[in-house]
A and B are shown apart, each in its own frame.
Chain A
Amino acid sequence: DAMVIQNPRYQVTQFGKPVTLSCSQTLNHNVMYWYQQKSSQAPKLLFHYYDKDFNNEADTPDNFQSRRPNTSFCFLDIRSPGLGDAAMYLCATSEEGGVSYGYTFGSGTRLTVV
């Protein structure tokens, strides 16, 4: 089945040590999103790619970066993770503006910072 895959499912990193989370999709959707979801909170959009165009949310910290080398893959880089960055990170895709078909989410990567 076409899907959105996030690896790893769980990631433990040290305070201040760079970490990369990955997302791949077989849907050939042109838009990819990264959301951060802290415990008992709603998902919060960090940034999205519309094709190769990167769109950052105004309140996303500089500590968070993203790369999209091709249609299928997208990476979330956290340059210097702090304890406050512990969260579930969700990758999602959509087609065009995604209005007709909505988002397809991966299962998420739960990040722990120690």
Chain B
Amino acid sequence: DAKTTQPNSMESNEEEPVHLPCNHSTISGTDYIHWYRQLPSQGPEYVIHGLTSNVNNRMASLAIAEDRKSSTLILHRATLRDAAVYYCILRDYVPNAGKSTFGDGTTLTVKP
């Protein structure tokens, strides 16, 4: 499986934007970029995914580099409830190959 690399931790102030980076230099042409977040004592929660183009949804935005070797999850206005571990993973669209390896993720701390 292609690997992802993320910073171990990041801090943000409440109401400010947060940019969470992810490097995936060995990404293949069939890999989608997915982001999940995990609150304490909960299962991971889907945030957003993309292939080549930037994506927006109600939770966040995903900016994908032109060479697809990196991406950035953008939380436009961080709230205390956004404090979580954020995982960036790659998922292959080949049938029965849609499993992924979770990296260590980024622990986001949001300060009031």
How far, in whole Å, are A105 and B34 apart by their CA atoms in the complex? 14
Contact of A99 among B32, B43, B44, B46 (CB under 8 A): B32
How far, in whole Å, are A105 and B2 apart by their CA atoms in the complex? 22
How far, in whole Å, are A102 and B45 apart by their CA atoms in the complex? 10
How far, in whole Å, are A88 and B18 apart by their CA atoms in the complex? 29
Interface residues of A in 64-114 (CB under 8 A from B): 88, 90, 92, 94, 96-108, 110
* B99 proximity list for chain A (CB < 8 A): 33, 45, 48, 55
* Interface SS of chain A: strand
State whether B102 touches A103 (Cβ < 8 A): no
State whether B96 touches A92 (Cβ < 8 A): no
How far, in whole Å, are A31 and B97 apart by their CA atoms in the complex? 11
- A42-B104, A99-B92 given as contacts; is B87 within 8 A of A106 (CB)? no
State whether B97 touches A97 (Cβ < 8 A): yes
Interface centre among B43, B96, B97 (most CB of A within 10 A): B43
State whether B98 touches A31 (Cβ < 8 A): yes
* B46 proximity list for chain A (CB < 8 A): 101-104
Q: Which residue of A lies closest to B47 (CB)?
A: A102
* A45 proximity list for chain B (CB < 8 A): 99-101
Q: Give the A interface residue count (CB, 8 A).
A: 31
How far, in whole Å, are A100 and B43 apart by their CA atoms in the complex? 19
Q: Judge if A17 is at the interface, Cβ distance under 8 Å.
A: no
CB distance from B93 to the nearest CB of A (A): 4
Sampled A-B contacts (12; CB under 8 Å): A33-B99, A45-B99, A50-B96, A55-B99, A90-B43, A90-B44, A96-B98, A97-B98, A103-B34, A104-B46, A107-B42, A108-B43
> Chain B: residues with CB nearer than 8 A to chain A?
32, 34, 36, 41-46, 49, 87, 91-105
> Chain A: residues with CB nearer than 8 A to chain B?
4, 31, 33, 35, 41-45, 48, 50, 53, 55, 88, 90, 92, 94, 96-108, 110
